[in-house]
Amino acid sequence: MFFRQFLLFIIFFQFSNAIFAQDDIESDILFQKIQELEIEIANLRNELESLNYLIQKLIDESSREVGNDESNDIENIADSNGIRFKGLDDKKSKEEIYRIAINNLENQNLQEAYISFKFFAENFEDDSKSPLSLFWLAEISLINNDFENSKKYFLQLINDYPNHYRIPLAHKKIGDIYLKNNEIDTAKERYQFVAREFPNSSASSQALQLLKNME
């Protein structure tokens, strides 16, 4: 009887050790994956900081104000790309202007992108491209620390295209402007609005994180 109990105890002990060993292995694998993720996050953070530095350097090296000689600049852009401004219904001109704006944006030519987006927003109507032109005008202004212009364009986007998919982010960006102006309470109200009204958006996640950081 005693021998049987002892044998059962040995079997149970070995079985328990096997389970714990398996748990340790799984824990080690999980810890290793967490370390790998932390390294990847650090690398991504470094790349983001480098990109922000390049954008800021581009802005600092720009010797002209965005608003100066916009009409001449847009004419030069148009001439160099063979654009014909026959009227507001000239579909080809509309597509070409927007293409130029996007290309400049992708190449981080922010001043030229701003000029093209502004021309498009003021001269053309397009359910898809017009709201995005307003968004990028606001975003480029924000990068340039032109908070007044940035807020103006974000609000125009919100008022003119209330159902556009960029609306949650536009509200969140307005909160960012308040935060940069040290209007903490107003920024919190805007972030809370985003979290409440657009709970399933990425802008809501960003707003909630900012609210947590502000506690």
For the chain, which residues make up each domain, given as ranges? 1-61, 70-213
Predicted structure pTM score: 0.61
Q: What is the pLDDT of residue 13?
A: 44
Q: What is the pLDDT of residue 215?
A: 82
Name the residue with tokens 């007044």. Answer: 148
Q: pLDDT tens digits for the chain (215 residues)?
A: 544 544 444 454 454 444 444 444 455 556 556 656 666 665 566 556 555 555 555 555 544 444 444 545 555 555 554 444 444 446 668 889 999 999 999 999 999 999 999 999 999 999 999 999 999 999 999 999 999 999 999 999 999 999 999 999 999 999 999 999 999 999 999 999 999 999 999 999 999 999 999 88
In the chain, the percentage of residues whose pLDDT exceeds 70 is 57
Q: How far apart are CA 151 and CA 8, in angstroms?
A: 75
Q: How far apart are CA 82 and CA 57, in angstroms?
A: 31
3-state class of 169 per DSSP? helix
8 A C-beta contact, residue 131 and residue 161 = yes
8 A C-beta contact, residue 190 and residue 196 = no
| Sign of the four-CA dihedral 106, 117, 178, 163 | negative
- List pLDDT tens digits, range 115-127: 999 999 999 999 9
Spell out the residues 6+ positions from residue 197 whose beta carbon is closer than 8 angstroms to its own.
Answer: 168, 171
Q: Does domain 70-213 have CATH number 3.40.50.2300?
A: no
Q: How far apart are CA 185 and CA 173, in angstroms?
A: 15
DSSP E strands, 41-189:
none
Q: How far apart are CA 66 and CA 142, in angstroms?
A: 13
For residue 105, give both structure tokens: 């944006």
Query: How many residues appear in the chain?
Result: 215
DSSP character string of 97-135:
HHHHHHHHHHTT-HHHHHHHHHHHHHH---TTHHHHHHH
Q: How far does CA 196 lie from the centroid of its chain?
A: 20
8 A C-beta contact, residue 194 and residue 154 = no
Integer CA distances (angstroms), 2 to 7, 9, 10, 199, in order = 9, 11, 12, 64
